[in-house]
Amino acid sequence: MQINRTGVGLIALFALLGLAMCLGPALLGADAETSLIVGSTGAIFVLVAGGLAWYARHARAKAARQDWIFENGIKGSATILEVGNSHTTVNEMPLIKLRIDLDIPGVGHTEVTRREVMPVFTANRMSEGLVLPAYANPENPAEFVLVW
């Protein structure tokens, strides 16, 4: 997953609106009860912005790690053994459970499971027997990137 312009806009909107709601009533001289209610709502907005920003940063770090594995890893193949739908969706994208036979040269075959959030058109193509490229970390072959 990666953040897009809409995501950046949402984070900025929640953060600015939240801060305005936290500070605005006090600065405008509102009474304590109003300040508390509006300020609490503002705090929730700031927390949401913080959560989204944390997730975006986590996704960016994960992407950087995957890029490193792609550039420095051992290229192998991943044969899909089983595709399971978790019936969970994230932003209209299904969370797919894959059971994979990972074949990395010099390491051999390993059966692993992987959960991936994929667009619908990608999830539709995941089927038993499909062979996808995979790159494994040479220092830790259990860490791998599945190319889909």
Partner 1 sequence: MADLDATFSSFAAERGLEPVPGLALGALTPLLVESKHCQVSPAARGRLAGEVDGIVGHLAYTRNRAFRFNVALVEVPASTALVPRLFCIRSGRSTRDDEFYGFEARHSKLWTESTGLNQRFVISVSPFQDPNWMRQLFSPALIDYLATKPPADFSFELAYGALLGSVEDDDPGADGLAALCEATAHVATRIARECEE
DSSP per-residue string spanning 49-107: HHHHHHHHHHHHHHHHHHHHHHHHSEEEEEEEEEEEEEEEEETTEEEEEEEEEEEETTT
Least distance between partner 1 and beta carbon 34 (Å): 31
Task: State the number of binding residues for partner 1 (CB under 8 A).
Answer: 35
Site for partner 1 in 31-60 (CB under 8 A): 52, 55-56, 59
**142 binds partner 1, rule: CB under 8 A:** no
Q: Give whichever of 55 and 81 is closer to partner 1, judged by the CB atom.
A: 55
Q: Give whichever of 25 and 73 is closer to partner 1, judged by the CB atom.
A: 73
DSSP bridge partners of 131: 79
Q: Give whichever of 127 and 140 is closer to partner 1, judged by the CB atom.
A: 127
Euclidean distance between CA atoms 132 and 148, whole angstroms: 7
DSSP per-residue string spanning 24-47: HHHHTT--HHHHHHHHHHHHHHHH
Using CB atoms within 10 A of its CB, is residue 99 exposed (0-12), middle (13-18) or buried (19+)? middle
Provide the residue count of the chain. Answer: 148
Site for partner 1 in 66-125 (CB under 8 A): 66-67, 70, 90-93, 117-122, 124-125
Least distance between partner 1 and beta carbon 29 (Å): 35
**137 binds partner 1, rule: CB under 8 A:** no
Q: Provide the binding-site residues for partner 1, judged by CB under 8 A.
A: 1-4, 6-11, 52, 55-56, 59, 63, 66-67, 70, 90-93, 117-122, 124-125, 133, 135, 145, 147-148
